[in-house]
Structures are given as C-alpha cells and as structure tokens.
Structure 1
Amino acid sequence: MVYIPAGEFLMGSDKKEAKKSEKPVHNVYTDGFFMDKYLVTNAQFKEFVDANPQWRKPQPSKDHIDEIYHDGAYLEHWYENNFPRGKEEHPVTKVSWYAATAYAQWVGKRLPTEAEWEKAARGGLEGMQYPWGDTIDTTKANYLFHIGSTTPVGQYPPNRYGLYDMCGNVWEWCLDAYQTRFYVKSPSHNPFSDNISMENVIYYFKEINTPRVLRGGAWGVDPNGVRVAVRLKGQPEYTIQTFGFRCVMDIDKRSTD
C-alpha cells in the first residue's frame, strides 16, 4: 500500500470540459490514509471467493452470491469458480459495489471515499486534468479502446504517489452515495456523501440501495471521461465489464495490524 499524506487539496474542476457534478472547485482536507498501489486483481478476488463461497458466481446447487447483490452478470467471464486463465494480474471486473465492499472488509480495508480517491489520483498536483498533467496519450493509460480490454495492473507509469491505473483501465467503486450537486454543500473536512455515517455504510452495506460513485474512467472511455475530476453514477448491484476497485486503510488500523 501507498501512504497518502494528510492535508488539503483542490477537489473538482472548473475547466471547460467539466460537468455540473464536478463543480465548484473547492478546498478539501483529508486525514492521511493508505491506498492499494494496484487495482484488485482476478487472482486476489479468487482468494476471496474461495474463502467466502457466499460471494461466488451463481452456480446451481452451490453456495453463491445472493441475487439482490448483483444484476445478473456477476463474474460473467469466470467459469464456475475460476477466473479467465492468463488474466490473473488483470483487474477484476463485473463485481458489484456490494462484492467490492465485502472483499475490502475481508482484507481488513475499505473502499475509498471519493475525496480520498481524487486526492490520491492527483498525486499532489493541483488543477491538472490527469494524474500527471494536462495532456494524455496511450503511453500513459489504457483508454479510448486503444487496447480494447483491460490490461495487467501496473503496466502504465504511476503517478507521483506511486499509484498505478488511477486513469483508465477500469472505473473504481467508491464508498460514497452519488449526489450530482454534492460539492455545493459538502463539508471541507473528510467529506463523505450519504444519509448515514461512513461507519454505518460499511457495517450495514448489504442494506444500501442508493447509487454509488465510481472514479477513474476505463479502457473504452474517451480522454474527457478519464479526467481525475470525473464522477460516474452506478447502482450498487451493477456488474459491468469496466467496473473494478481498489482499497484503502485508515492509519490507526494499519498501525495496529
């Protein structure tokens, strides 16, 4: 994991490409935290479902994920309980927010808030469109169908914090509820969007039914859609081929492990 230092940053975008949901640009403080250097891979997620059969792909006469926690395409390209061979180090996809949250709990972590995610993605740079600056090309990220599928994690250069694939490859689930105009009224200190506390969202995650935030863009998204400020809305049961995730850990938890 990579340490993301406590401090302030400018969240959102006022560029001409920015959508209403990205405005206004506002100052945000987050506590320090640790973030996974890489997206969660197929190999890592297989360890989780092997240990937790209630989160396996639906299979006749076997323990498997409850139908209310996915939209029917969960782990669609897996065969029984095996991920696609040769793609062990590709990011896991077609996982719902529920499954991502369950995985995070299993490894003693959690999903990032979208403020944490954007701070980490910016890598200490202010006002830039991408994790490294204001321009993008296919040597820096997997986007715009130039590969046509996911790529192994860590294949493109990291940002200044040492994080890989913060732009493109797959969209990343965040913990927050999606609110289009959240930035208009969001707190400046460790903001989190939901009607209940972050702790309760984590504890009662199986009861959540409101849209969640996704960040980062994906392999089939255009340059405008992989900007660090872009926010995507997704129902928590969605299992899409461009949806994946990574985890974070609070400092106090890391220090006791």
Structure 2
Amino acid sequence: MKKGLYFSPIILACIFTLSVIGCGEDDSVEIQSVDPPDASAIAADTTITVSFSAPPQNLTVSKGEVTTSDNTATISGPFPLGKLDIELTWEGGNRRLTYTVKDKVGEPVVPEGMVLIPEGEFQLGSISRDAGNVEQPGHTVYLNAFYMDKYEVTNADYKKFVDANPEWQKGTIASGFHDGNYLVNWSENTYPSGKANHPVVSVSWYAAAAYANWVNKRLPTEAEWEKAARGGVEGQRYPWGNSIDDSKANYSLNVGYAGSTTPVGDYPPNGYGIFDIVGNVLEWCLDTYDKDYYDDPPNKNPVAGPDSIEVVVENFKNITSSRALRGGSWVEGGQPRVWITYRRGNEPARTSHLIGFRCAKSVAP
C-alpha cells in the first residue's frame, strides 16, 4: 500500500499566500532623493526634482505642476514667496516637502523701508586730502552686512509705538529714562500739527532703543552709521562731496525764518538710498561714546564699550554710560558738525529738540 503525501490546511494556506505576495518582498514605492533638499530656501521659479525607488502611480502634488518620467518627478512653479508646503501623494505613499521661497536665493530679503549695506571694508574716519586742508587717515575696518532705515523715525511712526506701549508715553515714562523734556513738543500723546512726517525729536536713547526693539530692529553702531552715511564713497566730508550745499541737507537754520526740522526725504538720498543722514536731526547710535575709541578701533565690527550688540539690545534699560550721536542737525553749521566723521555723545536720558534717530538691523546668517 503506497503512502500518499499529506498537507495540513495550514501549510496549504501558507503556500497559497506566498504564491500571491511573494517571499517577503516589499513593493512599496519610496522617495530616494529630493533636489533642492527638503527644508531649504528656493527661488520662486525653482524646479524640484524627486527620485523614487520605482515609478510612482497616480502622483499628485498640492502646489505647483508635476510631471513624471519613469522613477523621476519634477515639480515646477512659480511658487509664492514665504513658507511653502507641498504634499505629494501616490499609490501606497505620501510625503510633505517644506521650503522657504525667496526673491533671490542666497540674497537676503530687504525689510520694507530699509536698505542693505553690503559687507566689506571701508575707511572709518577718513577724510582725504582732496577734501581741503584737513586730512584724516582713517582706519580700515570690516563690517558684516546690515540693514539701515532709509528715513529717520517720524512722529507718526513714534505715535504708533507709544499708543501700543503706554509705559513710553509722555505722561507715564519712568523718570530714569528721560531728563524731564521727553516729547516736550507733543501735547500729551499727540505730536505737533502738520508734522506727522517730520523726524520725532526730544526722545532719549532709552526711548529710541525701546522703539527699535518694538519694531524688531536696533540702533546702528557708530561704525555702521558712518559706513551707511558714506553711501559707498570714501574720504568725503559729506555724502555728496566735499563742499557744503544747502540744497542737499537741512542744516545751519537754513529752512524758514528761524530754522526747523523738515519732512523726512525732502533732500536727495546718498549712494545707498538713505535720506537725511546728515542734517535735520542728530541720530542716536547704539554704542558707548568714547572720544578715543576710534583712534585705534578693532578691525572687524567695532562696537565701543564693554558690551556686545546683543547685550546692549537685551539690557538697554540698564545702560548708564554715555551714548554716541552722529549726523549734525538743522541748527548746526556744516564745518565740521555736519561732516560724516564728526562724533559726539550724551547721556542716555538726554532729550533735545535736535536729537532723533533711525534704526538698523543685522542680516541673519
């Protein structure tokens, strides 16, 4: 009697299953690479290339247009500026890609109302022999790129700040942050009629620093201020050249009967597109005023005083040392108080009808 082969129901079920799905094989389609890489910055017209382990079936994307060829998919824009999330879905899989879309990849997006001052060396404190009988050799210093406000902060700008921050209003500011004449030309919380676009004056260094923090900026260092004021030209007394010119700036009581501030932007800009960088009002700077500091400054990103930019910004209310002022005002004559290189300082609580400010901002690495 021959013995037949015997298969249990369990063994038969396993054989049938293996014949259908294979011996442990995974047929899922997966992404192998993405170019540009996920989480990077891209331009609006970038084409994104995605490589799969096998041809993706029924691939769709939430943003852009997609085409496929074998194992490769290309996603094209144009894409909107800002954060970009692209959902990819195909049979058996999905993936989200995230990018930051910029105007020009590799170049910072300049904040509204500011200009980019490029990184590099310049001659700090330099006045060439061509400027006349006074020659200052200057010092070669390197500055990282930064942004500078095109205009001085106006009354209208500053009112938005005090409306949003009552502790900096005229009637409530802490006594330690001013000298008793804070916003002396304002009536309570209202600036003078007809002067919305004039630079705000009679603000202390503390108040200027507080405003700058509120708008996510800071005050410029003296070195930054001077580089910005030069407009890309070395060795000159003024942003426009070496001769004083009352058509180029508001100085020496040359406006009206007795002189006054003028609306920001009334005079021509310098080579960087910055207005009223000399004249109109003196401008607070971030760093300590040290009359000897620029005799031999550090050759990279000089900041006078013991503290870094970051420490001053974060702890501005605790500052007690004098602060630098630059630029001359509507009262002062052009020789030399309106020169680009002219330096002075005052106590951080000081206010004056000659003093205002503009803001700067570091370029993110």
Q: TM tier, shorter chain?
A: over 0.9
**Residue in 2 aligned with 1:54?**
167
- Percent identity of the aligned residues? 54
- Is 1:154 aligned with 2:265? yes
- Is 1:87 aligned with 2:195? yes
1:107 to 199, 215, 232: 215
1:185 is displaced (CA, Å) by 3.1
Cα distance in 2, alignment partners of residues 167 and 196 from structure 1: 27
Cα distance in 2, alignment partners of residues 211 and 13 from structure 1: 24
- Is 1:164 aligned with 2:287? no
**Residue in 2 aligned with 1:183?**
294
- Is 1:208 aligned with 2:316? no
**Residue in 2 aligned with 1:121?**
229
Corresponding residue pairs, total: 244
- Is 1:8 aligned with 2:121? yes
1:217 to 328, 333, 352: 328
1:13 is displaced (CA, Å) by 3.6
**Residue in 2 aligned with 1:142?**
250
Cα distance in 1, alignment partners of residues 163 and 247 from structure 2: 36
Q: Do the aligned partners of 2:120 and 2:142 also contact (CA within 8 Å) in 1?
A: yes
**Residue in 2 aligned with 1:197?**
308
SS in 2 for 1:213: strand
Q: Do the aligned partners of 2:279 and 2:329 also contact (CA within 8 Å) in 1?
A: yes
Cα distance in 1, alignment partners of residues 166 and 227 from structure 2: 35
**Residue in 2 aligned with 1:227?**
339
Q: Which runs of 5+ in 1 are unaligned?
A: 59-63
1:78 is displaced (CA, Å) by 0.6
1:85 is displaced (CA, Å) by 1.2
Cα distance in 2, alignment partners of residues 44 and 88 from structure 1: 8
User: More helix per residue: 1 or 2?
Assistant: 1
**Residue in 2 aligned with 1:244?**
356
**Residue in 1 aligned with 2:6?**
none
Cα distance in 2, alignment partners of residues 117 and 179 from structure 1: 16
- Is 1:130 aligned with 2:238? yes
SS in 1 for 2:317: helix
Please give the per-residue CA displacement for 1:93-123, whole angstroms capped at 9, x wherever unaligned.
0000000000000000000001000000000
SS in 2 for 1:117: helix
One-letter amino acid of the structure 1 residue matched with residue 115 of structure 2: V
**Root-mean-square deviation (CA), in Å?**
1.3
Q: Which runs of 5+ in 2 are unaligned?
A: 1-113
**Residue in 2 aligned with 1:61?**
none
SS in 2 for 1:101: helix
Taking structure 1 as the reference length, the TM-score comes to: 0.92
**Residue in 1 aligned with 2:4?**
none
1:45 to 158, 164, 178: 158
Of stretches 6-15 and 99-108 in structure 1, the one that deviates more from structure 2 is 6-15
1:14 is displaced (CA, Å) by 5.1
Cα distance in 2, alignment partners of residues 195 and 24 from structure 1: 26
Cα distance in 2, alignment partners of residues 242 and 105 from structure 1: 22
Cα distance in 1, alignment partners of residues 243 and 164 from structure 2: 43
Runs ≥4 residues deviating over 3 A:
13-18
Q: Do the aligned partners of 2:127 and 2:236 also contact (CA within 8 Å) in 1?
A: no
One-letter amino acid of the structure 2 residue matched with residue 46 of structure 1: K
SS in 2 for 1:121: helix
* Higher RCO structure, 1 or 2 (CA under 8 Å, sep 6+): 1
Of stretches 191-200 and 238-247 in structure 1, the one that deviates more from structure 2 is 191-200
